[in-house]
Structure 1
Amino acid sequence: MTNPISLTLHGVSWQLPDGSFLFSELDATFDARHTGLVGRNGVGKSVLARILAAEVTPTGGRCARIGRLHYLPQQITPRAGETVADLAGVRGALDALHRIEAGSTLQADFDAVGDRWQLSAQLQQALSAMQLGHLQADSAAMHLSGGEAMRVALAGALVSDADWLILDEPTNHLDARHRRDLITQLQRRSGGLIVVSHDRLLLESMARIVELSDLGLRSHGGGYSFYAERKAHERAVAIEQLERRKTDRRRQTRALTRQRERLEQRQSRGTRQAAQANQAPILLGLQKQRAENSAGRLRVEQAAARATLSQGVRDAAAQVEDDPAIVLLAPGAAPTMPERVASLREVLLPNVRGRAQRIDLRLSGAQRVGLLGANGSGKSTLLKVLAGLSEPLSGVRELAVETAYLDQRLSTLDPARSTLEQMLAANPSADESTVRTQLALLGQNAARVPLPTERLSGGERIKAALAMALYAERPARLLLLDEPDNHLDLASVQALETMLRQYRGALIVVSHDTAFLANIELTHRLQASERGWLLTAWS
Structure 2
Amino acid sequence: MASLEYSMTNINLVVKDMSFVLPDGRTLFSALNEQFDLRPTGLVGRNGIGKTVLAKLLAGLLEPGTGYCRCAGSVHYLAQHVGFSRGSTVADLAGVRHRLDALCRIESGSIAAEDFEALGDHWDLCKRLQNELERNHLGYLHADTPVDMLSGGEEMRVSLIGAMLSDADFLILDEPSNHLDRPNRQALIEQLQRWSRGLIVVSHDRQLLESMERIVELSPQGLRSYGGNYSFYVETRAHERQSAQQTLDECKLERQRQERVMRKHSLRQEQRQARGNRQGKESNQAKILLDRQKERSEVSSGSLRQKQAITRARLDQRVREAANHVEDESHVTLHAIPVTRIAKRCVAELDNVILPHLEGDTRTISLTIGGQQRIGIIGPNGCGKSTLLRVLAGKAVPVSGTCLVTPEYAYLDQRLEQLDSEKTVLEQLQIANPTATESDLRMRLAQVGLEAHKITTPSGLLSGGERLKGALACVLYADSPPQLLLLDEPTNHLDLMSVQALEIMLRGYKGALVVVSHDDVFLKNIELTDHVCATEHGWRLQCPSLSGLHPSEIVH
TM beyond 0.5: yes
Over the matched positions of the two proteins, sequence identity in percent amounts to: 51
In the other structure, the counterpart of 1:154 is 160
In the other structure, the counterpart of 2:37 is 31
Give the Å deviation of 1:288. 1.8
In the other structure, the counterpart of 2:489 is 483
Q: Does 1:116 align with 2:116?
A: no
Query: Per the alignment, in what secondary structure is the counterpart of residue 219 of structure 1?
Result: strand
**1:469-493 residue CA offsets vs partner (Å, 9 max, x unmatched):** 5567997665443332344344333
Distance in 2, Cα, partners of 1:88 & 1:395: 43
Q: In 2 relative to 1, CA 482–135 (structure 1 residues): closer, same or farther, beyond 3 Å?
A: farther
Query: Paired residue for 2:50, among 36, 44, 50?
Result: 44
Q: In 2 relative to 1, CA 291–469 (structure 1 residues): closer, same or farther, beyond 3 Å?
A: closer
Q: In 2 relative to 1, CA 438–182 (structure 1 residues): closer, same or farther, beyond 3 Å?
A: same
Query: Paired residue for 1:275, among 276, 281, 285?
Result: 281
**Stretch moving more, 142-151 or 224-233:** 142-151
Q: In 2 relative to 1, CA 300–155 (structure 1 residues): closer, same or farther, beyond 3 Å?
A: same
Q: Is the 8 A contact 1:423 1:471 kept in 2?
A: no
In the other structure, the counterpart of 2:5 is none
Query: 1:524-539, aligned counterparts within 5 Å?
Result: 524-536=530-542, 539=545
One-letter amino acid matched to 1:322: D
Q: Does 1:303 align with 2:303?
A: no
Q: In 2 relative to 1, CA 133–240 (structure 1 residues): closer, same or farther, beyond 3 Å?
A: same
Distance in 2, Cα, partners of 1:382 & 1:124: 37
Q: Does 1:286 align with 2:272?
A: no
Query: Paired residue for 1:61, among 48, 60, 66?
Result: 66
- CA-atom RMSD, angstroms? 3.9
One-letter amino acid matched to 2:502: L
Give the Å deviation of 1:37. 1.0
In the other structure, the counterpart of 2:246 is 240
In the other structure, the counterpart of 2:18 is 11
Distance in 1, Cα, partners of 2:148 & 2:387: 14
Q: In 2 relative to 1, CA 523–531 (structure 1 residues): closer, same or farther, beyond 3 Å?
A: same
Query: Per the alignment, in what secondary structure is the counterpart of residue 341 of structure 1?
Result: strand
Give the Å deviation of 1:291. 1.7
Give the Å deviation of 1:20. 5.2
Q: In 2 relative to 1, CA 56–476 (structure 1 residues): closer, same or farther, beyond 3 Å?
A: farther
Unaligned 5+ residue runs, structure 2? Answer: 1-8, 546-556
In the other structure, the counterpart of 2:524 is 518
Distance in 2, Cα, partners of 1:303 & 1:222: 45
Query: Paired residue for 1:360, among 359, 365, 368?
Result: 365
Distance in 2, Cα, partners of 1:121 & 1:351: 36
Q: Is the 8 A contact 1:424 1:432 kept in 2?
A: no
Aligned residue pair count: 532
Q: In 2 relative to 1, CA 196–498 (structure 1 residues): closer, same or farther, beyond 3 Å?
A: same
Query: Per the alignment, in what secondary structure is the counterpart of residue 369 of structure 1?
Result: strand
Q: Is the 8 A contact 1:329 1:499 kept in 2?
A: yes
One-letter amino acid matched to 1:209: I
**1:282-314 residue CA offsets vs partner (Å, 9 max, x unmatched):** 222222222222222222222122212211221
Query: 1:39-438, aligned counterparts within 5 Å?
Result: 39-57=45-63, 60-66=65-71, 67-75=73-81, 80-142=86-148, 144-324=150-330, 325-327=332-334, 330=337, 332-334=339-341, 341=348, 343=350, 345=352, 347=354, 350=357, 354-356=360-362, 358-366=363-371, 367-380=373-386, 382-383=388-389, 395=400, 398=403, 400=405, 406=412, 410=415, 412=417, 420=425, 423=428, 436-438=442-444
Q: In 2 relative to 1, CA 149–359 (structure 1 residues): closer, same or farther, beyond 3 Å?
A: farther
**1:188-233 residue CA offsets vs partner (Å, 9 max, x unmatched):** 3232211122333432333321111232221122222332232222
**1:500-532 residue CA offsets vs partner (Å, 9 max, x unmatched):** 344455543223333432343434332222222
Distance in 2, Cα, partners of 1:497 & 1:285: 71
Distance in 1, Cα, partners of 2:388 & 2:92: 27
Unaligned 5+ residue runs, structure 1? Answer: none
State the TM-score, normalized to the length of structure 2. 0.80
Q: Is the 8 A contact 1:5 1:192 kept in 2?
A: yes
Query: Per the alignment, in what secondary structure is the counterpart of residue 18 of structure 2?
Result: strand
Distance in 1, Cα, partners of 2:349 & 2:89: 36
Give the Å deviation of 1:35. 1.5
Query: Per the alignment, in what secondary structure is the counterpart of residue 444 of structure 1?
Result: coil
Q: In 2 relative to 1, CA 248–203 (structure 1 residues): closer, same or farther, beyond 3 Å?
A: same
Q: Is the 8 A contact 1:347 1:397 kept in 2?
A: no
Distance in 2, Cα, partners of 1:414 & 1:65: 44
One-letter amino acid matched to 1:301: K
